[in-house]
C-alpha cells in the first residue's frame, strides 16, 4: 500500500511539519482489537524497510489520522494527531472510541507531506446483541524466504469481518544460502534494532499490507517472533536464561511496535500479557491464548530423540503431571472463567498449533506442543464438557499443514469440540507420506494436507459454522491463483465436523 503525495487542497487535516523526502508509509497501515465503540489504528513510519534504522532519523514526527463512515473519507467522524518517536520505532497506536457498533469505517494517516493508503476496519457488535453472521479469515506461519503471499492477497478479497493471525508472523534466522524464493536479512534477529528491521522487511510486502488494510486483526505470537521452539524462559539455542530474557524483551517490544494492539498490553521487560477474548454479540466469543510465554519447562528433555529433539517417549510420566501447564496457572484460570460465563452460541479458541494427540508408530510424541502438556489439554476439554460450553471450535496453526478433526477425552470417544488448523501462508509443510502416517495414527483427524499453502475462512451463523480451507496453487510464484481446498461444517448443538 504505497503512500500518495499529499497537497493542502486534498486534505485539510494535514499537520504542519517539515516534508519527508521519501514516503514514510512503506510498511502500510492496520487496525485491530475491535470493540463495539472503537478500534486501534496503527502505522509505523519507515522510509527504507531494509535498513536497520528504517531510513528514519531520531527526530519525532507528527502523524495525522482520520476515520470516516465512507471509503472516500468525506464523512469523517474522528481525527487527530499523534507523535511517532524513535523510542517506539516511529510506530503509533491510535485507540479510537465513540464509534457506532457493528459497522464498517475507513481510515488513513498523513505525515511529512505524504498520505497513506486507505484502510477498512469494523467495530464489533454490542455485547449481547443479536448478530446474524460473522466471517473470520485466519492464518499463520509466513516465512518470507519460503514463498510469496498470494494467500494474503486472496484473504483481502474475501471481505472478512475479522482477521485472526496465530503466530510466526516473522522468522528470526538470517538469510539462507540457497533453496529460497527471496532472502531474509543477513543477520539473525536478536536485539531490538534487528527485530524492527525484520518486521519492516516483511511488512513491505504489498499482499500482506492489503490483508492488514482489509479488516481489523486479532493477533497472537508463536515461537519465531522470538526464537525457534522457545518456551517460557527456555531457548533451545541459548541455555543462558538471563541472556535469553533480554532477547525476549527486545522481541516483545518490537512485536508491540509492529501490531495494532492496545496500550494495556504494552510489554514490561520480557513480559507481555496477550491472552484475551473478543465477543461478537451473542453469536460468537473468540478466546485467544498464549501457549509460549508461561509454559512449564519441556517434559523429558533428557529422553528426546537424537534425530528429532522434539520427540520424547509417549509414556514419559512428566507429560501427565497435572502440576505442569502449557498456559500457566493464571491463564488457565482465566480461560476456565471464559468457558463458564460465555453467553455466545459459538465459542472459538484461537491457539497456535495442532491440539490433537499424535503418537508416532515408535510411541513418541512432540514435547513442543500440547502432547508435552497432556493435562492442560485435558483440563480444557473437561472445562468445555463440564460447563456445557456451546459449540466449542478450535482454530490453530504452527504445523504448516491443513488439518481438520474432532477432539475428545479418549481416543474414539464422543467429540467435545472440532479443530481446524489453517495451513501456512508460505512456510513449507510435510510430505503426503507423512500426512498419511499422521492420519493413520490419529483417526480423529478427518483431513490433512501438507503440500498446499493457504489459510482458513470461518463463516458463522446461528445454525452452523462453516470452515473453508483456501489453497494457493503455487506459493513459489507471485500472484498465484487461490481456490477452495476443502470445506467442513459444524452444526449448532451437534459436536463433530462434517465434510461438505
Tell me how far apart the alpha carbons of residues 165 and 274 are, in angstroms, rounded to a whole number. Answer: 13
Cα(390)–Cα(51) distance, integer angstroms:
49
Q: If you write DSSP's letter for every residue of 256-278 in order, what string do you get?
A: HHTS---GGG--BTTB----EEE
Residue 289, burial from CB neighbour count under 10 angstroms (0-12, 13-18, 19+): buried
Name all domains of the chain by residue range, CATH numbers in brackets: 4-122 (2.60.40.380), 134-499 (3.60.21.70)
Distance of CA 56 to the CA centre of its chain: 27
Classify strands 346-350 and 284-288 as parallel, antiparallel or unpaired: parallel
pLDDT at position 302? 78
Q: Contact at 8 Å (CB) between 471 and 452?
A: yes
3-state secondary structure of 354: coil
The string of pLDDT tens digits covering residues 398-412 is 999 999 999 999 999
Phi, psi values for residue 200, rounded to 5°: -65, -40
3-state secondary structure of 41: strand
Q: Which cell numbers in the block locate residue 437?
A: 502416517
Residue 82's closest CA among 94, 70, 72? 94
Q: What pLDDT, on a 0 to 100 scale, did the predictor assign at position 308?
A: 63
Rounded-to-integer distance, Cα 415 and Cα 404, Å? 13
- Concatenated DSSP letters for 412-453? T---SEEEEEE--SSS----HHHHHHHHHH-TTEEEEESS--
Q: Please report the pLDDT score of residue 238 as a whole number.
A: 82
Distance CA 305, CA 455 (A): 31
Rounded Cα gap, residues 120 and 495, in angstroms? 35
- The Cα–Cα gap between 405 and 442 comes to 9
Residue 184: C-alpha distances to residues 64, 114, 189, 327 (Å)? 32, 28, 10, 31
DSSP 375: H
Instruction: Say what the pLDDT of residue 154 is.
Output: 98
Residue 208 has, within 13 A of its CA and on its CB side, a CA count of 25
Say how far apart CA 489 and CA 442 lie, in whole Å.
Answer: 20
Q: Tell whether the torsion through CA atoms of 449, 412, 380 and 390 is positive or negative.
A: positive
pLDDT of residue 237: 82
Question: Residue 17's pLDDT is what?
Answer: 64
Would you write out the chain's pLDDT as a tens digit for each of its 500 residues? 444 444 333 444 444 466 899 999 999 999 999 999 999 999 999 999 999 999 999 999 999 999 999 999 999 999 999 999 999 999 999 999 999 999 999 999 999 999 999 999 999 999 999 999 999 999 999 999 999 999 999 999 999 999 999 999 999 999 998 889 999 999 999 999 999 999 999 999 999 999 999 999 999 999 999 999 999 999 988 889 999 999 999 999 999 999 999 999 999 999 999 999 999 999 999 999 999 999 999 888 878 776 566 899 999 999 999 999 999 999 999 999 999 999 999 999 999 999 999 999 999 999 999 999 999 999 999 999 999 999 999 999 999 999 999 999 999 999 999 999 999 999 999 999 999 999 999 999 999 999 999 999 999 999 999 999 999 999 999 999 999 999 999 999 999 999 99
**Residues 122, 202, 194, CA angle at the centre, nearest 5°?**
120
Q: Which of these, 331, 436, 343, lies nearest to 131 by C-alpha position? A: 343
Contact present, 376 and 326 (Cβ < 8 Å): yes
Q: pLDDT (tens digit, 9 = 90+) per residue, 168-215?
A: 999 999 999 888 999 999 999 999 999 999 999 999 999 999 999 999
d(CA 498, CA 212): 31
Amino acid at each position: 500500500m504505497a503512500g500518495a503525495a499529499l497537497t493542502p487542497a486534498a486534505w485539510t487535516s494535514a499537520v504542519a511539519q517539515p516534508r519527508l523526502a521519501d514516503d514514510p508509509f512503506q510498511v502500510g497501515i492496520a487496525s485491530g482489537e475491535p470493540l463495539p465503540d472503537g478500534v486501534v489504528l496503527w502505522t509505523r513510519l519507515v522510509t527504507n524497510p531494509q535498513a536497520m534504522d528504517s531510513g528514519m532519523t531520531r527526530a519525532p514526527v507528527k502523524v495525522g489520522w482520520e476515520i470516516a463512515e465512507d471509503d472516500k473519507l468525506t464523512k469523517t467522524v474522528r481525527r487527530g494527531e499523534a507523535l511517532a518517536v524513535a523510542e517506539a520505532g516511529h510506530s503509533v497506536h491510535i485507540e479510537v472510541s465513540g464509534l457506532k457498533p457493528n459497522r464498517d469505517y475507513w481510515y488513513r494517516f498523513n505525515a511529512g507531506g505524504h498520505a497513506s493508503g486507505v484502510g477498512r476496519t469494523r467495530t464489533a457488535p454490542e455485547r449481547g446483541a443479536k448478530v446474524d453472521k460473522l466471517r473470520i479469515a485466519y492464518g499463520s506461519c509466513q516465512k518470507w524466504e519460503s514463498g510469496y503471499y498470494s494467500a494474503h492477497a486472496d484473504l483481502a478479497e474475501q471481505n472478512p469481518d475479522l482477521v485472526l493471525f496465530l503466530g510466526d508472523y516473522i522468522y528470526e534466522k538470517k538469510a539462507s544460502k540457497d533453496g529460497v524464493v527471496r532472502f531474509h536479512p543477513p543477520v539473525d534477529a536478536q536485539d531490538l534494532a534487528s527485530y524492527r528491521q525484520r518486521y519492516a522487511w516483511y511488512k513491505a510486502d504489498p499482499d500482506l499490507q492489503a490483508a492488514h488494510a482489509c479488516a481489523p486483526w486479532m493477533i497472537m505470537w508463536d515461537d519465531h517472533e522470538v526464537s525457534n521452539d522457545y518456551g517460557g524462559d527456555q531457548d533451545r539455542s541459548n541455555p543462558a536464561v538471563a541472556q535469553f530474557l533480554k532477547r525476549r524483551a527486545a522481541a516483545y517490544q518490537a512485536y508491540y511496535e509492529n501490531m495494532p494492539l492496545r496500550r494495556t498490553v504494552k510489554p514490561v521487560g520480557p513480559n507481555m500479557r496477550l491472552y484475551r477474548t473478543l465477543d461478537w454479540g451473542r453469536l460468537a466469543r473468540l478466546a485467544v491464548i498464549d501457549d509460549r510465554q508461561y509454559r512449564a519447562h519441556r517434559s523429558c528433555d533428557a529422553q528426546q530423540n537424537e534425530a528429532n529433539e522434539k520427540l520424547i517417549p509417549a509414556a514419559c510420566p512428566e507429560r501427565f503431571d497435572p502440576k505442569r501447564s502449557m498456559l500457566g496457572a493464571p491463564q488457565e484460570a482465566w480461560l476456565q472463567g471464559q468457558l463458564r460465563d460465555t453467553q455466545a452460541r459459538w465459542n472459538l479458541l484461537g491457539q497456535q498449533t495442532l491440539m490433537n494427540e499424535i503418537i508416532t508408530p515408535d510411541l513418541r510424541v512432540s514435547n513442543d506442543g500440547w502432547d508435552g502438556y497432556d493435562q492442560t489439554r485435558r483440563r480444557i476439554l473437561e472445562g468445555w464438557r463440564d460447563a456445557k460450553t456451546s459449540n466449542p471450535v478450535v482454530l490453530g496453526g504452527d504445523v504448516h499443514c491443513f488439518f481438520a478433526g474432532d477432539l475428545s477425552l479418549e481416543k474414539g470417544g464422543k467429540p467435545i469440540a472440532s479443530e481446524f488448523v489453517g495451513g501456512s501462508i508460505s512456510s513449507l509443510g510435510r510430505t503426503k507420506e507423512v500426512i498419511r502416517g499422521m492420519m493413520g495414527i490419529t483417526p480423529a483427524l478427518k483431513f490433512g494436507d501438507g503440500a498446499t499453502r493457504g489459510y482458513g475462512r470461518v463463516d458463522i451463523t446461528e445454525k452452523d459454522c462453516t470452515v473453508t480451507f483456501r489453497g494457493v496453487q503455487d506459493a513459489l510464484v507471485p500472484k498465484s491463483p487461490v481456490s477452495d481446498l476443502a470445506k467442513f461444517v459444524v452444526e449448532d448443538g451437534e459436536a463433530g465436523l462434517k465434510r461438505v
